[in-house]
Structure 1
Protein backbone atom coordinates (compact mmCIF):
# COMPACT_ATOMS: atom_id res chain seq x y z
CA UNK A 1 0.00 0.00 0.00
CA UNK A 2 3.05 2.30 0.02
CA UNK A 3 2.45 3.62 -3.50
CA UNK A 4 -1.18 4.37 -2.60
CA UNK A 5 -0.23 6.34 0.51
CA UNK A 6 1.95 8.66 -1.52
CA UNK A 7 -1.02 9.91 -3.54
CA UNK A 8 -3.19 10.77 -0.57
CA UNK A 9 -2.81 9.87 3.08
CA UNK A 10 -5.01 6.80 3.69
CA UNK A 11 -5.72 7.57 7.35
CA UNK A 12 -6.82 11.12 6.52
CA UNK A 13 -9.07 9.79 3.79
CA UNK A 14 -10.63 7.26 6.18
CA UNK A 15 -11.42 9.96 8.75
CA UNK A 16 -12.82 12.18 6.00
CA UNK A 17 -15.09 9.38 4.77
CA UNK A 18 -16.26 8.71 8.33
CA UNK A 19 -17.15 12.41 8.77
CA UNK A 20 -18.72 13.09 5.37
CA UNK A 21 -20.19 9.65 4.64
CA UNK A 22 -23.87 8.79 4.99
CA UNK A 23 -24.51 5.40 6.57
CA UNK A 24 -27.74 3.49 6.26
CA UNK A 25 -28.43 0.06 7.65
CA UNK A 26 -30.80 -2.76 6.76
CA UNK A 27 -31.30 -6.43 7.48
CA UNK A 28 -28.72 -8.66 5.90
CA UNK A 29 -29.22 -12.03 4.24
CA UNK A 30 -27.12 -15.13 4.56
CA UNK A 31 -25.95 -17.07 7.60
CA UNK A 32 -26.50 -15.79 11.11
CA UNK A 33 -29.55 -17.57 12.43
CA UNK A 34 -31.99 -15.44 14.41
CA UNK A 35 -29.48 -12.59 14.31
CA UNK A 36 -30.30 -12.05 10.61
CA UNK A 37 -33.98 -11.54 11.34
CA UNK A 38 -33.48 -9.08 14.19
CA UNK A 39 -30.42 -6.93 13.56
CA UNK A 40 -29.72 -4.40 10.79
CA UNK A 41 -26.17 -5.40 9.90
CA UNK A 42 -26.01 -4.58 6.16
CA UNK A 43 -24.28 -1.24 5.61
CA UNK A 44 -24.78 1.14 2.70
CA UNK A 45 -22.18 3.92 2.68
CA UNK A 46 -22.55 6.89 0.33
CA UNK A 47 -20.13 9.80 -0.02
CA UNK A 48 -20.52 12.87 -2.21
CA UNK A 49 -17.26 13.13 -4.14
CA UNK A 50 -17.39 16.93 -4.08
CA UNK A 51 -17.16 16.87 -0.27
CA UNK A 52 -13.86 14.98 -0.27
CA UNK A 53 -11.35 17.75 0.44
CA UNK A 54 -7.85 17.33 -0.90
CA UNK A 55 -8.86 16.09 -4.35
CA UNK A 56 -8.45 18.38 -7.34
CA UNK A 57 -10.63 18.35 -10.47
CA UNK A 58 -8.43 15.93 -12.44
CA UNK A 59 -8.45 13.43 -9.56
CA UNK A 60 -12.23 13.72 -9.20
CA UNK A 61 -12.59 13.12 -12.92
CA UNK A 62 -10.38 10.01 -12.69
CA UNK A 63 -12.44 8.67 -9.78
CA UNK A 64 -15.70 9.31 -11.66
CA UNK A 65 -14.32 7.57 -14.75
CA UNK A 66 -12.88 4.48 -13.06
CA UNK A 67 -15.66 4.03 -10.48
CA UNK A 68 -18.61 4.97 -12.70
CA UNK A 69 -20.39 1.69 -11.88
CA UNK A 70 -20.29 2.62 -8.18
CA UNK A 71 -21.86 6.07 -8.60
CA UNK A 72 -25.56 6.61 -8.01
CA UNK A 73 -27.79 9.02 -9.96
CA UNK A 74 -26.78 11.89 -7.65
CA UNK A 75 -23.11 11.35 -8.45
CA UNK A 76 -22.35 9.94 -5.00
CA UNK A 77 -19.96 7.06 -4.53
CA UNK A 78 -21.61 4.14 -2.74
CA UNK A 79 -20.59 0.80 -1.34
CA UNK A 80 -22.73 -1.91 0.22
CA UNK A 81 -21.31 -4.46 2.65
CA UNK A 82 -22.81 -7.38 4.57
CA UNK A 83 -19.82 -9.66 5.16
CA UNK A 84 -19.81 -9.67 8.96
CA UNK A 85 -22.52 -10.41 11.52
CA UNK A 86 -21.71 -7.17 13.34
CA UNK A 87 -22.94 -3.77 12.15
CA UNK A 88 -19.85 -2.09 13.57
CA UNK A 89 -17.47 -4.43 11.72
CA UNK A 90 -19.37 -3.97 8.44
CA UNK A 91 -19.26 -0.21 8.95
CA UNK A 92 -15.48 -0.19 9.51
CA UNK A 93 -14.88 -2.50 6.54
CA UNK A 94 -17.06 -0.35 4.27
CA UNK A 95 -15.05 2.76 5.16
CA UNK A 96 -11.74 0.97 4.56
CA UNK A 97 -12.93 -0.54 1.29
CA UNK A 98 -14.14 2.84 0.03
CA UNK A 99 -10.81 4.45 0.92
CA UNK A 100 -8.95 1.67 -0.93
CA UNK A 101 -11.21 2.05 -3.99
CA UNK A 102 -10.61 5.81 -4.12
CA UNK A 103 -6.84 5.46 -3.71
CA UNK A 104 -6.59 2.69 -6.31
CA UNK A 105 -8.59 4.73 -8.81
CA UNK A 106 -6.05 7.55 -8.49
CA UNK A 107 -3.17 5.36 -9.69
CA UNK A 108 -2.26 6.15 -13.29
CA UNK A 109 -1.73 3.05 -15.41
CA UNK A 110 1.51 2.82 -17.34
CA UNK A 111 1.08 2.92 -21.12
CA UNK A 112 1.63 -0.42 -22.81
CA UNK A 113 4.36 -0.51 -25.42
CA UNK A 114 3.78 -2.69 -28.44
CA UNK A 115 6.38 -5.40 -28.77
CA UNK A 116 7.25 -7.89 -31.49
CA UNK A 117 8.65 -11.39 -31.21
CA UNK A 118 12.38 -11.45 -31.92
CA UNK A 119 13.78 -12.94 -35.12
CA UNK A 120 15.07 -15.94 -33.15
CA UNK A 121 11.66 -16.57 -31.58
CA UNK A 122 9.98 -16.41 -35.01
CA UNK A 123 12.53 -18.84 -36.46
CA UNK A 124 12.08 -21.22 -33.52
CA UNK A 125 8.30 -21.18 -34.06
CA UNK A 126 8.67 -21.92 -37.77
CA UNK A 127 11.16 -24.72 -37.08
CA UNK A 128 8.70 -26.29 -34.66
CA UNK A 129 5.96 -26.10 -37.28
CA UNK A 130 8.24 -27.78 -39.85
CA UNK A 131 9.01 -30.64 -37.44
CA UNK A 132 5.31 -31.10 -36.65
CA UNK A 133 4.43 -31.04 -40.36
CA UNK A 134 7.08 -33.69 -41.15
CA UNK A 135 5.73 -35.90 -38.35
CA UNK A 136 2.26 -35.72 -39.84
CA UNK A 137 3.52 -36.28 -43.40
CA UNK A 138 5.31 -39.46 -42.33
CA UNK A 139 2.17 -40.92 -40.76
CA UNK A 140 0.81 -42.27 -44.06
CA UNK A 141 0.22 -45.96 -44.78
CA UNK A 142 3.29 -48.11 -45.23
CA UNK A 143 3.61 -49.94 -48.56
CA UNK A 144 5.70 -53.13 -48.56
CA UNK A 145 7.02 -54.14 -51.99
CA UNK A 146 8.09 -57.80 -51.77
Structure 2
Protein backbone atom coordinates (compact mmCIF):
# COMPACT_ATOMS: atom_id res chain seq x y z
CA UNK A 1 0.00 0.00 0.00
CA UNK A 2 1.64 3.23 -1.09
CA UNK A 3 0.37 6.61 0.04
CA UNK A 4 1.72 9.71 -1.63
CA UNK A 5 1.99 12.93 0.28
CA UNK A 6 0.38 15.84 -1.52
CA UNK A 7 2.67 18.80 -2.17
CA UNK A 8 -0.18 21.15 -1.19
CA UNK A 9 0.04 19.89 2.41
CA UNK A 10 3.79 20.46 2.69
CA UNK A 11 5.41 23.78 3.58
CA UNK A 12 8.94 24.16 2.25
CA UNK A 13 11.18 27.08 3.13
CA UNK A 14 14.78 27.71 2.16
CA UNK A 15 17.26 28.45 4.93
CA UNK A 16 21.01 28.74 5.22
CA UNK A 17 22.81 25.51 5.90
CA UNK A 18 24.93 24.97 8.99
CA UNK A 19 28.51 23.83 9.25
CA UNK A 20 31.59 24.24 7.12
CA UNK A 21 31.37 25.37 3.52
CA UNK A 22 32.77 28.89 3.47
CA UNK A 23 31.32 31.57 1.28
CA UNK A 24 28.71 29.31 -0.36
CA UNK A 25 27.16 28.33 2.97
CA UNK A 26 27.29 31.86 4.32
CA UNK A 27 25.59 33.48 1.33
CA UNK A 28 23.28 30.92 -0.30
CA UNK A 29 20.08 29.59 1.25
CA UNK A 30 20.42 26.07 -0.10
CA UNK A 31 19.15 24.09 2.89
CA UNK A 32 15.47 23.20 3.04
CA UNK A 33 13.12 23.18 6.03
CA UNK A 34 10.06 20.98 5.37
CA UNK A 35 6.98 21.09 7.61
CA UNK A 36 4.12 18.61 7.34
CA UNK A 37 1.08 18.86 9.61
CA UNK A 38 -0.05 15.29 10.20
CA UNK A 39 -3.42 16.14 11.77
CA UNK A 40 -4.45 18.45 8.89
CA UNK A 41 -3.27 16.08 6.17
CA UNK A 42 -5.43 13.97 3.86
CA UNK A 43 -3.86 10.70 5.02
CA UNK A 44 -6.16 7.96 6.36
CA UNK A 45 -6.89 8.19 10.08
CA UNK A 46 -5.09 4.94 10.89
CA UNK A 47 -1.90 6.17 9.22
CA UNK A 48 -2.18 9.50 11.05
CA UNK A 49 -2.46 7.69 14.38
CA UNK A 50 0.60 5.55 13.66
CA UNK A 51 2.57 8.62 12.53
CA UNK A 52 1.65 10.52 15.67
CA UNK A 53 2.52 7.50 17.82
CA UNK A 54 6.07 7.40 16.47
CA UNK A 55 8.69 8.38 19.01
CA UNK A 56 10.51 10.34 16.36
CA UNK A 57 12.42 13.50 17.24
CA UNK A 58 11.28 15.11 13.99
CA UNK A 59 7.67 15.10 15.26
CA UNK A 60 6.71 18.12 17.35
CA UNK A 61 4.15 18.13 20.15
CA UNK A 62 1.68 19.85 17.79
CA UNK A 63 1.78 16.90 15.39
CA UNK A 64 3.99 18.57 12.79
CA UNK A 65 6.84 16.68 11.14
CA UNK A 66 9.88 18.91 10.61
CA UNK A 67 12.60 17.71 8.26
CA UNK A 68 15.77 19.67 7.58
CA UNK A 69 17.75 18.75 4.46
CA UNK A 70 21.18 20.29 3.93
CA UNK A 71 23.19 17.43 2.49
CA UNK A 72 23.51 18.80 -1.04
CA UNK A 73 24.78 22.10 -2.45
CA UNK A 74 21.68 22.81 -4.51
CA UNK A 75 18.28 23.73 -3.11
CA UNK A 76 16.45 21.51 -5.60
CA UNK A 77 18.34 18.40 -4.52
CA UNK A 78 17.77 19.24 -0.85
CA UNK A 79 14.04 19.70 -1.54
CA UNK A 80 13.89 16.33 -3.29
CA UNK A 81 15.81 14.74 -0.40
CA UNK A 82 13.43 16.20 2.20
CA UNK A 83 10.37 15.02 0.27
CA UNK A 84 11.88 11.55 -0.15
CA UNK A 85 12.57 11.34 3.59
CA UNK A 86 9.01 12.39 4.38
CA UNK A 87 7.65 9.82 1.93
CA UNK A 88 9.85 7.13 3.51
CA UNK A 89 8.50 8.05 6.94
CA UNK A 90 4.90 7.81 5.71
CA UNK A 91 5.62 4.52 3.92
CA UNK A 92 7.10 3.05 7.10
CA UNK A 93 3.74 3.37 8.87
CA UNK A 94 1.45 2.85 5.86
CA UNK A 95 1.07 -0.88 6.50
CA UNK A 96 -0.29 -1.82 9.91
CA UNK A 97 2.03 -3.99 11.99
CA UNK A 98 1.17 -7.66 12.10
CA UNK A 99 -0.27 -8.60 15.49
CA UNK A 100 1.80 -10.90 17.66
CA UNK A 101 0.36 -14.36 18.14
CA UNK A 102 1.30 -15.65 21.58
CA UNK A 103 2.74 -19.14 21.61
CA UNK A 104 3.12 -21.73 24.36
CA UNK A 105 6.34 -23.58 25.12
CA UNK A 106 6.55 -27.08 23.67
CA UNK A 107 6.62 -30.19 25.86
CA UNK A 108 10.24 -30.86 24.91
CA UNK A 109 11.33 -27.33 25.88
CA UNK A 110 9.60 -27.70 29.25
CA UNK A 111 11.41 -31.00 29.84
CA UNK A 112 14.76 -29.45 28.84
CA UNK A 113 14.18 -26.60 31.27
CA UNK A 114 13.30 -28.95 34.13
CA UNK A 115 16.30 -31.17 33.35
CA UNK A 116 18.61 -28.16 33.51
CA UNK A 117 17.08 -27.11 36.83
CA UNK A 118 17.56 -30.56 38.34
CA UNK A 119 21.20 -30.67 37.19
CA UNK A 120 21.83 -27.26 38.70
CA UNK A 121 20.13 -28.36 41.93
CA UNK A 122 22.32 -31.45 42.13
CA UNK A 123 25.45 -29.36 41.58
CA UNK A 124 24.48 -26.97 44.37
CA UNK A 125 23.54 -29.84 46.71
CA UNK A 126 27.13 -31.11 46.48
CA UNK A 127 28.42 -27.81 47.86
CA UNK A 128 26.80 -28.31 51.27
CA UNK A 129 28.34 -29.99 54.31
CA UNK A 130 28.25 -33.76 54.23
CA UNK A 131 25.54 -35.41 56.32
CA UNK A 132 26.51 -36.14 59.91
CA UNK A 133 29.31 -33.57 59.93
CA displacement at 1:130 relative to structure 2: 1.5
Which residues in structure 2 correspond to 1:1-146 (within 5 Å)?
A: 7-8=1-2, 13=4, 16-17=6-7, 20-47=9-36, 52=42, 55=43, 59=44, 61-68=45-52, 70=59, 73=62, 77-140=65-128
* More helix as a share of residues: 1
Report the TM-score when normalising by structure 1: 0.64
Give the RMSD, CA atoms, in angstroms: 3.0
Report the TM-score when normalising by structure 2: 0.69
| Structure 1 portions without partners, runs of 5+ | 1-6
**C-alpha distance after superposition, 1:86-115 (max 9, x if no partner):** 433321111111112222222011111111
CA displacement at 1:36 relative to structure 2: 3.4
Measured in 2, the distance between the counterparts of 1:139 and 1:85 equals: 71
